[in-house]
């Protein structure tokens, strides 16, 4: 009888433990599911740039949205798109469009290092006629550094692929970057 009673208590105890652990497993599984779905979007930031420039017969309009994914507080990687319209009255009109990939490194909170590969399609119409048009691809590889405060970074970048046929006036250029 004692053996039978001990066996019943053991079975009851094991059943109770099994029920307890299965409830915990289901509870943990349900709690983790929404967390993993939203974790990706918590690490994504959107930003970009808008530019307008007007002068005597000169127009420069640009739009450059971008998004980055923060792997941790030190490293981020992202993509961007770019469109730019340039026009000099009686000389040329140009459309530039393309994309870029960017890597950001924050060794300390105030310093941001960047590397960006940009590929742009350039369409230029000289003298306002289609007979003098040029279409080509322009590639830029920018290495930069800047001072970061919150979501904004101001700094400078250098195009290591700069040559005489490059669309930029200089290999060295300042930047202002902001992500929300």
Q: How confident is residue 48, by pLDDT bands cut at 50, 70 and 90?
A: confident
Phi-psi region of 24 (alpha: psi -120 to 50; beta: other; left: phi over 0): alpha
Question: How far does Cα 46 stand from its chain's mean position?
Answer: 7
Determine which helix (DSSP H) or strand (DSSP E) holds 142, and give its type and residue range. strand 133-149
- The pair phi, psi for residue 40, each rounded to 5°, is -60, -50
Residue 28: per-residue pLDDT: 46
Q: 77 or 34, which is more confident? A: 77
* Biggest CA-to-CA distance, the chain: 109
Residue 34: per-residue pLDDT: 55
Which range, of 18-22, 46-50, 80-84, 144-148, averages the lowest pLDDT?
Answer: 18-22
Pairwise CA distance, residues 92 & 63, whole Å: 20
Pairwise CA distance, residues 143 & 113, whole Å: 8
Q: Nearest to residue 129, comparing CAs of 164, 166, 180, 90?
A: 90
3-state SS class at 7: helix
- Tens digits of residue pLDDT in 78-106: 999 999 999 988 888 999 999 999 999 99
Pairwise CA distance, residues 97 & 137, whole Å: 10
Are 126 and 91 contacting, i.e. CB atoms less than 8 angstroms apart?
yes
Instruction: Return the number of other C-beta atoms located less than 10 Å from residue 140's C-beta.
Output: 21
Angle at CA of residue 77, ends 76 and 79, nearest 5°? 140
């Amino acid at each position: 009888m004692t053996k039978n009673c001990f066996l019943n208590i053991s079975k009851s105890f094991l059943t109770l433990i099994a029920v307890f652990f299965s409830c915990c497993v289901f509870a943990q599984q349900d709690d983790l599911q929404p967390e993993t779905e939203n974790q990706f979007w918590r690490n994504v930031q959107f930003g970009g740039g808008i530019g307008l420039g007007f002068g005597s017969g000169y127009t420069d309009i640009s739009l450059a949205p971008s998004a980055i994914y923060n792997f941790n507080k030190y490293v981020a990687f992202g993509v961007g798109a770019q469109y730019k319209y340039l026009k000099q009255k009686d000389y040329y009109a140009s459309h530039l469009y393309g994309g870029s990939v960017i890597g950001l490194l924050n060794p300390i909170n105030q310093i941001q290092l960047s590397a960006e590969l940009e590929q742009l399609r350039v369409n230029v119409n000289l003298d306002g006629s289609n007979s003098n048009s040029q279409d080509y691809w322009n590639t830029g590889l920018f290495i930069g550094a800047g001072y970061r405060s919150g979501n904004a970074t101001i700094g400078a970048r250098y195009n290591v692929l700069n040559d005489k046929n490059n669309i930029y006036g200089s290999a060295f250029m300042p930047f202002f970057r902001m992500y929300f």
